Amino acid sequence: MIIALFIFSIGLLPLVLALNVIKMYKGSELGIALLLFMISITLWQIDIGVLYLKDILSKDLILFIFRFFRIGSTLVVPLTFYIVYIILKKHSPNIKNSFLHHLLLLLFNPKIIWLLSIWGLIVYFINWTKWGIEGLTPVRIMNTDTQLYFPIYGELHFLYILHTGSMLFLLITVVVVSKGIQHNTLISFLRTFSFCALLLLITGFLNFIPGTGAVLSSIGVIIFTSIIIFSFVKLNNLMTINYNLLSERQKKLDFLGDVSASLVHEVKNNLQIIKAYSQMLPESTPLPKDSEHMVKMIQLATKQLEDLTFNYTDYLNKKSINFKNVDLNEIISESMTIVNEIINERRVGINFEKKYKPLIVYANSTYLKQVFINLIKNSCEAITDENESRKIDISTDIVGEKIIIDISDSGHGIPVAQWESIFDPFISSKEIGMGIGLPFVRKIIFEHRGEIFVLSSSREGTTFRMLLPQYEFSK
């Protein structure tokens, strides 16, 4: 009786943890999946603890309860599969081996989750027959006087062992897939979760050995729950720190917006002068072809800056950006044209692979054009005279309803510790830089319901990845 209560109490620990998970991750699919996983462990512990009620409940009732609560250990497998699926789908991991990535996307999909869930229910219902569990028999725990009921397994019980044993493959997959996640804290948690769940699996399999008792598996639950709770506390603290950093960043952005508003008026006045003289110059005297090209470039850059100031003024007044379906290929090509002189001056080769023609994106073309101008300019400046390879590659792809744009350069790279801070306002590694280019880029991408981050960086170069919605997003 005491051992049963001890096991039941331990079983409540994952449930308490699960409730904290759902508070921490409100509305998160991953949080809900972890919640269900913890509940299944609680059911599994109840399933084990009832075997110690030999002198309290009848044999038939214990067998009924044991079969009923085996749903917990049976559903752990599809739930772990679902966790891997969410990681692949929601957190967009980048696995260097593209074949492995495509294989994982092919394997982990909603249809397989449903098939695995149905298979788990079949295994569960087999437990209700003599082919799964024939009955119970009393056994004595080695070196003690304590007795408990031990199941008499049927001919098809091996299906249950194979089913729960597949957890090993899934946990290894979680570790592999987590390597591609950009969120280092989430990577740490998922790896901790995988190793602790593996320990839980090993101690759980000791339950199949008569005489070992169920206390060892309960110790596994204690270790699992304790480490995961510690990991969640660490995750929560880091999330709080990141929230405070984001708040500070927002204050800087607000200040930047106030400063920008006061500068826009002066910029517009000077733009009118530049625009007027660039139009009058070809009319006043015939120009050589090279000079005509230069004037056209001045006019093109002036038009971009004029559109940008108009859009920014409109944004300040309305606090909204106008979006429409545009061809992303044209936006990138026009951005390359505007910064062409910088590219030639720094002797950099640029390649834009147009995989889709056209590539329609729901965006504001003026703002998005400025995003690519900033990124291409930064990539050029990252390539110094010491770099033998001098190239910028721009590639696009479509995954689901998202467009993926990668901008890679062969520059000096960015230290890992600065991958996030480079998007903070007024932080720059350039001697004359103000540190407002990348913050502007991220703000515009966020306004487009997208993401931008450093995908990879080393001495061989840096790759920025941008995610944009392909279709019109909801309000």
Residue 258 lies in a domain: no
**Which CB contacts under 8 angstroms, 24+ apart, belong to 455-460?**
455/94, 455/182, 455/406, 456/94, 457/413, 457/414, 457/415, 457/416, 457/419, 458/413, 459/412, 459/413, 460/389, 460/410, 460/413
Q: Round to whole Å and give the CA distance between 126 and 157.
A: 8
Are residues 34 and 138 both part of a single domain? yes
Are residues 237 and 337 both part of a single domain? no
Choosing from 245, 278, 305, the residue where a domain stops is: 245
pLDDT of residue 369 exceeding 80, the answer is: yes
Q: Round to whole Å and give the CA distance between 327 and 336.
A: 15
Q: Classify residue 334 as exposed, middle or buried by CB count within 10 Å of its CB (0-12, 13-18, 19+).
A: middle
- pTM, entire model: 0.52
Digit-coded pLDDT (tens) for 297-329: 776 777 666 666 665 555 555 455 778 888 899
Are residues 55 and 194 both part of a single domain? yes
Q: Round to whole Å and give the CA distance between 131 and 117.
A: 20
Closest C-alpha among 247, 191, 236 to residue 23: 236
In three-state secondary structure terms, 317 is helix
Q: State residue 474's pLDDT score.
A: 45
Contact 167, 175 (CB under 8 A): no
Digit-coded pLDDT (tens) for 228-237: 666 666 665 6
Q: State residue 131's pLDDT score.
A: 93
Are residues 332 and 223 both part of a single domain? no
Are residues 240 and 332 both part of a single domain? no
Whole-angstrom Cα Rg for the chain: 30
Are residues 182 and 41 both part of a single domain? yes
pLDDT of residue 416 exceeding 60, the answer is: yes
Q: State residue 465's pLDDT score.
A: 93
Residue 133 lies in a domain: yes
pLDDT of residue 150 exceeding 70, the answer is: yes
In three-state secondary structure terms, 364 is coil
Are residues 241 and 355 both part of a single domain? no
Digit-coded pLDDT (tens) for 30-46: 777 777 888 888 888 78
pLDDT of residue 420 exceeding 90, the answer is: no
Q: State residue 265's pLDDT score.
A: 47
Residue 284 lies in a domain: no
Q: State residue 252's pLDDT score.
A: 55
Choosing from 228, 245, 262, the residue where a domain stops is: 245
Contact 468, 445 (CB under 8 A): yes
Digit-coded pLDDT (tens) for 370-404: 889 889 988 888 888 787 888 999 999 888 778 89
Digit-coded pLDDT (tens) for 127-145: 899 999 888 888 776 666 6
| Most confident option among 9-13, 186-190, 240-244 | 186-190
Q: State residue 217's pLDDT score.
A: 57
- The secondary structure of 142-184 as a DSSP string is TTSS-EEEEEEE-TTHHHHHHHHHTHHHHHHHHHHHHTT-S-H
Q: State residue 439's pLDDT score.
A: 80
Residue 289 lies in a domain: no
* Domains held by the chain: number: 2
Q: State residue 277's pLDDT score.
A: 59
Q: What is the mean pLDDT of the chain?
A: 75
Task: Give 464's pLDDT tier (boundaries 50, 70, 90).
Answer: very high
Choosing from 200, 221, 245, the residue where a domain stops is: 245
Q: State residue 27's pLDDT score.
A: 59
Query: What integer is the mean pLDDT of 399-426?
Result: 83
Residue 22 lies in a domain: yes
Q: Round to whole Å and give the CA distance between 261 and 267.
A: 10
Query: What integer is the mean pLDDT of 245-262?
Result: 55
Task: Give 220's pLDDT tier (boundaries 50, 70, 90).
Answer: low
Lowest model confidence (mean pLDDT) among 329-343, 431-445, 461-475: 431-445
Are residues 81 and 229 both part of a single domain? yes
Q: Round to whole Å and give the CA distance between 11 and 73.
A: 13
Which has more confidence, 162 or 200? 162
Instruction: For the beta carbon of residue 76, count every other beta carbon within 10 angstroms.
Output: 25
Cβ contacts of residue 414 below 8 Å, gap of 6+? 422, 454, 457, 462
Looking at the chain, the whole-number percentage of residues with pLDDT higher than 70 is 60
Residue 202 lies in a domain: yes
Which has more confidence, 246 or 425? 425
Strands 349-353 and 391-399, by their bridges, are parallel
Cβ contacts of residue 442 below 8 Å, gap of 6+? 423, 452
CATH of the domain at 91: 1.20.1070
Torsion of CA 22, 78, 179, 42, to 10 degrees: 40
CATH of the domain at 451: 3.30.565.10
Contact 408, 376 (CB under 8 A): no
Residue 270 lies in a domain: no
Locate 316 and state its tokens. 């300040």
Q: Classify residue 98 as exposed, middle or buried by CB count within 10 Å of its CB (0-12, 13-18, 19+).
A: exposed
428: left (phi over 0), alpha (psi -120 to 50) or beta: beta
What is the extent of the structural domain holding 416? 321-475
Q: State residue 427's pLDDT score.
A: 56
Are residues 229 and 347 both part of a single domain? no
Contact 123, 193 (CB under 8 A): no
Which residues in 266-289 are b (16+ Cβ under 10 Å) and which e? eeeeebeeebeebeebeeeeeeee
Identify the helix (H) or strand (E) that includes residue 290: helix 289-318
Are residues 225 and 344 both part of a single domain? no
Contact 324, 304 (CB under 8 A): no
| Most confident option among 73-87, 188-202, 249-263, 430-444 | 73-87
Residue 386 lies in a domain: yes
Contact 190, 203 (CB under 8 A): no
